[in-house]
Structure 1
Amino acid sequence: LKIVNDNYGHRTGDDYLREVVTLLRRHLRKSDSISRFGGDEFLVILPDCGEEEAQSIFSRMEEDLQSMNRRGRTYPLSFSYGLVQAEAGDEEDISSLIALADERMYLQKESKRKKRGGI
């Protein structure tokens, strides 16, 4: 987001965030929720959703995003995510789960960056 804000302005950065959220919402069920968690980070909660199903949802989101990018965008849209599964009665608190998801998201982001050649 910083690159978009720096090169195209904060209004374009806000548009970028809205487009990504719109894309995310298209794939979520009524029971799911999405909340802004930081500057360009969002927390998505998928109740009664296994890890395989969640992975499939995010894979479809990424496919849609790539399709949007192929339509001649000024700047490419992208996102990274970290999946964490929790069950009722698990001992971990929400802060620990969010920290683990954040760690996994950054690992994915680094992996994507390396595939693109360090961009």
Structure 2
Amino acid sequence: MARTLRRRMTPEELLLWQKLRRKALGVSFRRQEPMGRYVADFVCYERQLVIELDGSQHLNSPEDQARDADMLAHGFLTLRFWNNEVRTNLPSVLERIQTALNDRTPS
């Protein structure tokens, strides 16, 4: 499943991946990474940070809230961004990711 998701990344996921790959923010990220019963869009194990990109179908989603709580119970902070944020304000998205990375201690 994760392999299929990597091949079928959304344009927004591809755009963000270009900015996260090859330690561009100083740490390694994996894309479409299986984590328990979930697949994270992007994860940095070193800083225990998960990044999810969401479309409008995720608005006030109880499933996403449960997923974020499960990730937190395992020590992972989840940052969620709307697809249109990535398209229209990528520098701000990257700044928020960098701030979260700086605030998290390496594991």
- TM-score, scaled to structure 2: 0.38
- Give the alignment's TM-score, normalised by structure 1: 0.36
Structure (1/2) with the larger helix percentage: 1
> RCO greater where, 1 or 2, for CA within 8 Å and sep 6 or more?
2
